[in-house]
Amino acid sequence: MAKIKHLEIDGTSANYWALLGLLGVFILGGLGSMWFMEHNGHWVTGMTNQIVWGVPHVMAVFLIVAASGALNVASIASVFNKTVYKPLAPLSAFLALALLAGGLAVLVLDLGRPDRLMVAMTHYNFKSIFAWNIYLYTGFFAVVGLYLLTMLGSALKPYGRLAGTLAFIWRLVLTTGTGSIFGFLVARQAYDAAIMAPMFIVFSLAYGLACFLLVLGASFAMTGRELGPFLVRRLRNLLGVFVAGSFYMTVVHHLTNLYSAERQGVEAFLLLDGGTITSLFWLGQVVVGYILPLALIYTPVYRDMPFAPYVAAGLTAAGGLAQMYVTIIGGQAYPLSLFPGMEASSSFFDGAINTYVPSLPESLLALSGIAIALAIVAVVVKLFRVLPVSLADETTDPHHGL
């Protein structure tokens, strides 16, 4: 493969500043929502003492999981020595950090008392998976930052594969920790499953690659740089494998739960009787997130259309958000089983399906997470040599012209 040059973008056009301005509006909306919720209390949101994780947490978990998967392109290039992906490695690593920063920003701003974050950072309960995740998230910034130094600095370049391998292992551990947040929650019947950790790893591959493909296509289109169909096809086919893997893990998860008598109630709620949750599962997660992307990727009449990979990536990301909503909100909406095998009745919603309607401040805060991640990427491509000047087929396809 021909040597590919990376160059920062000019970043002086009206379109560039308009994009930053638009993202800034969403970021300000998120900050204003944080102030409104902190000033008035979380009773102004749709969250209650039954559903304590709302739309901001859905977005935060999605971005954190996607951050791990966004690094996959760089991992394939360095760890598995696939040279065709090496020109994309810097963008992959920066996008991973940006997505993690966006997700964590939403979590911090939703604390109600962001100033008390220092308590969580200085006092650890190592029996809590949340305490472990603080190390995993901060470690991810450090490890991927070191990995980026090997890409951007010639002195550390010989250590690129070692740093890439460490980053690859760390991201697997990070996503395992995120999935284990739900896998260790024994109080919720929709969670408390060992499959949650590996399932989230597979989800991360699909979400992260979908986000990467969208950012890659938009970056090259907005800067007028050439992105050849050869590399897009490679990424499209890889996305198809990850989406199919996510579909498989989802099927196995629900079939395993249906096999267990104690979980048949929550499965009936999620799959049949959950109203909005059930609709989001079948239409959002299965149809939009799995079936339509797979059809666009593998159906001959669609797969070679120029827009198909990007539409498939957008549908995968939308389906991922629906999946996180079903997992997080749906798992809390189903009532706690306080005394298995017995009926419990009180004035505190025992045995009742919990309702949740997101408020405007929550939604704005959630959207600000995406805006923060995209704003970081927009600034990075202006300051650093991250984007290749051209990824035309003659520079990326070793069989071009043969």
Least-confidence region, from 82-96, 223-237, 253-267:
253-267
The verdict on residue 74 lying in a domain is: yes
Q: If pLDDT is split at 50, 70 and 90, which confidence band does 132 have?
A: confident
The verdict on residue 9 lying in a domain is: no
Of 215, 208, 216, residue with least CA distance to 66: 208
Give the total number of structural domains in the chain: 1
Rounded to an integer, the average pLDDT of 99-114 is 84
Rounded to an integer, the average pLDDT of 26-49 is 89
Whole-number pLDDT of residue 39: 85
The verdict on residue 343 lying in a domain is: no
Whole-number pLDDT of residue 326: 95
Contact 219, 363 (CB under 8 A): no
How far apart (Å, rounded) are the C-alpha atoms in residues 327 and 112? Answer: 23
- Please check the confidence at residue 341 and state whether its pLDDT lies above 70: no
The per-residue pLDDT of the chain, averaged, comes to 89
The verdict on residue 359 lying in a domain is: no
Q: If pLDDT is split at 50, 70 and 90, which confidence band does 1 have?
A: low
The verdict on residue 352 lying in a domain is: no
- In tens, the pLDDT along 281-299 reads 999 999 999 999 999 999 9
For residue 398, give every residue at least 6 positions away whose Cβ sits within 8 Å of its Cβ, in sequence order, or none: 1, 84
227 backbone dihedrals φ, ψ, rounded to 5°: -120, 105
- Please check the confidence at residue 334 and state whether its pLDDT lies above 90: no
Rounded to an integer, the average pLDDT of 364-368 is 95
How far apart (Å, rounded) are the C-alpha atoms in residues 97 and 283? Answer: 31
226 backbone dihedrals φ, ψ, rounded to 5°: -90, 130
Of 303, 315, 316, residue with least CA distance to 229: 303
- Rounded to 5 degrees, what angle do the CA atoms 336, 327, 212 make? 160
The verdict on residue 360 lying in a domain is: no
Instruction: Quickly count: other Cβ atoms within 10 Å of residue 30's Cβ.
Output: 27
Contact 35, 373 (CB under 8 A): no
Q: Which amino acid is at 331?
A: G
278-296 as b/e: b if 16+ CB within 10 A? bebbeebbbebbbebbbeb
Whole-number pLDDT of residue 127: 74
Instruction: Quickly count: other Cβ atoms within 10 Å of residue 360's Cβ.
Output: 13
Rounded to an integer, the average pLDDT of 343-351 is 63
Rounded to an integer, the average pLDDT of 23-49 is 90
| Bridge partners (DSSP) listed for residue 391 | 227
For residue 213, give every residue at least 6 positions away whose Cβ sits within 8 Å of its Cβ, in sequence order, or none: 232, 235, 236, 239, 309, 310, 313
How far apart (Å, rounded) are the C-alpha atoms in residues 388 and 92? Answer: 12
Of 181, 206, 162, 215, residue with least CA distance to 68: 206
- In tens, the pLDDT along 243-285 reads 999 999 999 999 998 888 788 888 899 999 889 999 999 999 9
Which residue range forms the structural domain that includes residue 158? 14-337+372-396
**Domain harbouring 111, CATH code:** 1.20.1630.10
The verdict on residue 345 lying in a domain is: no
How far apart (Å, rounded) are the C-alpha atoms in residues 357 and 285? Answer: 19
The verdict on residue 358 lying in a domain is: no
